[in-house]
């Protein structure tokens, strides 16, 4: 009996140590893997088009990792610098006019441009507010992110069916929240959470093992979070 309990205790300690080490090592390993994959992806597209005399890998016997990514960062900064000047703006608007009036290409360009501006716009609150919705069925709740108010045709359709105040929520999967479900729910059915989007992401990636401490915010800041989208989006549209 004593040997059995001792064996169980040792097994439990080994198991606990393994999971503790996994929690410590897995995020670092995933981060390193993602970073190296991103660097290799940029290098595979950029480096082959760089002349040999400007390519440091030509002078050594091994490829220089990250050189393609460095070229992209420098190039984007140069484009941004030119775009903020008068002459650069002229050429930018010329190029934009050509792309916006080219068949087929204009739809892809405008769609991509709108997505990038929505993600990177100043004071954007997209995916910054964690919440709960009753999904996929009654009594089951999903952790998600409040994205925006329902507008346009969808708003009209919901109004016709007696649902005047609908919001859009994004429900990411576990453990890799890179894809997910887009769900339209009534605002009163959304439970806003005090936890930050970062803490919510940690909870999703860990499968619920990492539950953040409850930090309460003032009622005013919480109400502002629940009604942010109308004010912020109207401001962005004016800009």
In this predicted model, what pLDDT tens digit does every residue of 140-179 receive, in sequence order? Answer: 898 888 888 888 888 888 888 888 888 888 888 877 666 7
81: three-class secondary structure by DSSP: helix
Q: How far is Cα 58 from Cα 56, in angstroms, rounded to an integer?
A: 5
Q: Write down the domain spans for the chain.
A: 129-238
pTM for the structure as a whole: 0.46
* Cα 148 to Cα 166: distance, rounded to the nearest angstrom: 9
pLDDT tens figures, 93-138: 777 777 777 777 777 777 777 766 665 554 455 566 888 988 888 8
Can you read off the two tokens belonging to residue 62? 């091994």
**Rounded to an integer, what distance in angstroms lies between the CA atom of residue 184 and that of residue 158?**
10
Asked if 171 contacts 144 with a C-beta cutoff of 8 angstroms, the reply is yes
């Amino acid at each position: 009996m004593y040997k059995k309990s001792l064996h169980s205790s040792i097994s439990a300690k080994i198991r606990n140590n393994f999971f503790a080490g996994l929690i410590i090592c897995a995020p670092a390993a995933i981060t390193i893997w993602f970073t190296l994959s991103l660097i290799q992806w940029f290098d595979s597209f950029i480096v082959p088009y760089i002349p040999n005399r400007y390519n440091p890998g030509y002078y050594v016997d091994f490829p220089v990792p990250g050189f393609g990514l460095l070229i992209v960062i420098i190039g984007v900064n140069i484009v941004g610098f030119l775009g903020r000047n008068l002459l650069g703006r002229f050429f930018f608007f010329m190029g934009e006019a050509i792309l916006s009036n080219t068949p087929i290409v204009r739809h892809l360009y405008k769609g991509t441009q709108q997505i990038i501006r929505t993600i990177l716009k100043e004071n954007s609150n997209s995916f910054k507010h964690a919440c709960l919705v009753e999904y996929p069925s009654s009594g089951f709740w999903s952790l998600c992110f409040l994205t925006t108010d329902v507008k346009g045709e969808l708003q009209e359709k919901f109004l016709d069916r007696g649902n005047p105040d609908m919001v859009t929520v994004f429900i990411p999967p576990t453990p890799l929240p890179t894809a997910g479900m887009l769900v339209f729910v009534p605002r009163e059915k959304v439970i806003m959470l005090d936890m930050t989007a970062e803490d919510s992401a940690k909870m999703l990636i860990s499968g619920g093992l990492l539950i953040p401490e409850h930090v309460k915010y003032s009622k005013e800041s919480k109400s502002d979070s629940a009604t942010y989208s109308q004010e912020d989006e109207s401001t962005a549209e004016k800009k």
